[in-house]
Amino acid sequence: MSPITIYHNPRCSNSRGALQLLQERGLAPHIVDYVKEPLDAAALTALVAQLGLPVRELLRSKEPEYAALDLANSARSEAELIAAVAAHPTLLNRPIVVTPKGARLCRPPELVLELL
């Protein structure tokens, strides 16, 4: 398996852009289409820990589920937010790239280059 993993949504231009930048450099990352293969709460917790960010910073606030689940409510715990993302994977912002140099939300896609 590749030492590079991209948590990817092929419908997202930023995600496609980051993947293309990796492939243009001859890299073949392990691609996790997290919409088709949702991450469970444990995997999400581990990914958030690698990123070193609060899960709230990884949420897509424009998704309908964000409002429907009242995720803007600051009283929501990290565990509640992770459970929401596990149940509704489109809430997770993308692309997230993990390399031996670290993990990062790559928006804009060019941020992936800092992980190489």
pLDDT in tens, the chain (116 residues): 789 999 999 999 999 999 999 999 999 999 999 999 999 999 999 999 999 999 999 999 999 999 999 999 999 999 999 999 999 999 999 999 999 999 999 999 999 999 99
Taking the CB of residue 66, how many other CB atoms lie within 10 A of it?
A: 17
**66-76 per-position pLDDT tens digit:** 999 999 999 99
Question: What's this model's pTM, rounded to 2 decimal places?
Answer: 0.94
Query: According to the model, what pLDDT value does residue 2 have?
Result: 85
Residue 61 has φ and ψ, to the nearest 5°, of -70, -15
105 close to 58: Cβ distance less than 8 angstroms: yes
Residue 12 catalytic?
yes
Active-site entry in 4, 6, 12, 112: 12
CATH of domain 5-115: 3.40.30.10
Q: Look at residues 65, 63, 66, 52 and name the one whose alpha carbon lies nearest to residue 96.
A: 52
Q: Where are the domains of the chain?
A: 5-115
Which has the closest alpha carbon to 57: 108, 115, 4, 105? Answer: 105
